[in-house]
Amino acid sequence: MELDRFEWLALRQEDAIDPDRVIVDPHHHLWDRGGSTYLASQLLDDITNTHNVVKTIFVECRAEYDKERSEHFWPVGETAFAAREADQTDAAGGPTLAGIVGYADMMLGEAIADVLAAHIDVSGGRFRGIRYATAWDASDDIRNGHTRPTPLMMGAREFCAAARTLASMGLSFDAWLYHPQLPEVAALATTVPDLAIILNHLGGPLTIGPYGQARDKALAAWRADMRRVADSPNVFLKLGGVGMDDNFATGWTTRQAPPSSNEVADYWTDDLQFCIDLFGPERCMFESNFPVDRQTLPYPVIWNSFQIIAASYTDAEQDDLFSGTATRVYRLS
């Protein structure tokens, strides 16, 4: 997965289709590691270049852990780091990094409360919840999540206790998993109905490995389980991750130039509109997933493709999709 092919990305230049549409980008990362740098200055370059992005949400990515603390508190360093970067975006007078989604070990059960309190303390009022990547599959062709997940862990007693603790503290839970695990999300949503669950990246409809060999069957299974998840009103959906060629096998990484927004919309419209119509615009939010989606797509192309896909919805529905849902779910002022 190459994220920094800047010369290649520059081969596709687009102006915003709708430069006035207010956008809250509810999913991006920040890091400086392994020769790849994406910090406040790089974020500001992207979000101020073409579209009207007014706020963003940082989502955990194992950046800048504080290993001077005891191990369960290491991720608090990432929240402190994100808060410092947020201060820089504010000082620059640009769009504000308004929320932070950190990481805490859900297998701590109720003891997760101490870690959450530490996140809140260092966040400058920006901490909104955690993400736990339970993404796991039995196939060796599938890369498991960075949190070393185990099968069926979302149903574990400790995990559910941690989920109830999140809800009691008014915090949300971002879920990143693969589509065969969607029944676990449905069960968790029913078990903890007061918890706002934000399902990342379309619910992870894999079309690689064994799922790529039976793509139609995999997507049919994804749609069936997404219907089960959508039955729970406390589950919200991030519409994005569309540039992740390493999961969705779009083939865009091998092209001589990145695809246009029209090409991206042609590829994804049926699936994204299925999601929007299933959950309703009031429970869906477009996301950039940057810089991860930079493996195939420039930032303006992502938002233009979403504006093309959303064009058939009413103005009020588009307000939800591009900013309203994220503002409500992440409790942004």
CA separation, residue 229 to residues 56, 207, 224, 236, 247 (Å) = 26, 20, 9, 9, 21
Burial of 72 (0-12, 13-18, 19+ CB in 10 A): middle
Paired sense of beta strands 31-33 and 36-38, if any? antiparallel
How large a percentage of the chain has pLDDT more than 90? Answer: 94
Q: What is the pLDDT of residue 2?
A: 83
The full DSSP string for 89-134 is HHHTTS-EEEEEEE---GGGGGGHHHHHHHHHHHTTT-EEEEEEE-
Q: Which of 130, 121, 114 is nearest to 59 (CA)?
A: 130
CA distances from 116 to 40, 110, 162, 164, 189 (A): 24, 11, 10, 13, 20
Q: Which residues pair with residue 55 across a beta bridge?
A: 24, 96
Question: Could you tell me which residues come within 8 angstroms of residue 85 by beta carbon, excluding any fewer than 6 positions away?
Answer: 30, 39, 40, 43, 58, 97
Q: Give the model's confidence band at 333: pLDDT under 50 very low, under 70 low, under 90 confident, else very high.
A: confident
Looking at residues 173-177, what average pLDDT do you find?
A: 98
183 token code pair:
């029944």
Tokens coding 68: 């001077």
Q: Is the pLDDT of residue 117 over 80?
A: yes
For the segment 90-110, the average pLDDT, to the nearest whole number, is 97
What are the extents of the domains in the chain? 6-329
| Average confidence (pLDDT) over 211-222 | 94
Q: What is the pLDDT of residues 245-301, one digit of tens each?
A: 989 999 999 999 999 999 999 999 999 999 999 999 999 999 999 999 999 999 999
- Report the pLDDT value the prediction gives residue 146, as an integer from 0 to 100: 87
Q: How far apart are CA 1 and CA 28, in angstroms?
A: 17
User: Residue 254's pLDDT is what?
Assistant: 94
The single-letter DSSP state of residue 2 is -
pTM beyond 0.95: the answer is yes
Pair of tokens at residue 311:
């064009």
CATH number of 6-329: 3.20.20.140
Given pLDDT bands bounded at 50, 70 and 90, which one contains residue 332? very high
Name residues whose C-beta falls within 8 Å of residue 33's C-beta, 6 or more positions apart in sequence.
63
pLDDT at 47 exceeding the cut of 90: yes
Q: Which residues, at least 6 apart from 54, have a Cβ–Cβ distance to it below 8 Å?
A: 22, 23, 24, 95, 96, 323
Q: For 298-311, how does the pLDDT look when each residue is reduced to its tens digit (9 = 90+)?
A: 999 999 999 999 99
User: Is residue 15 very low, low, confident or very high in pLDDT (cuts 50, 70, 90)?
Assistant: very high
Quick check: 1 pLDDT over 80? Answer: no
Query: pLDDT for 129-152, tens place per residue?
Result: 999 999 999 998 888 888 889 999
Q: What is the separation, in whole angstroms, between the first and last Cα of the chain? A: 36
Where does the pLDDT of residue 29 fall: very low under 50, low under 70, confident under 90, or very high at 90 and above? very high
Which of these, 291, 316, 312, lies nearest to 302 by C-alpha position?
291
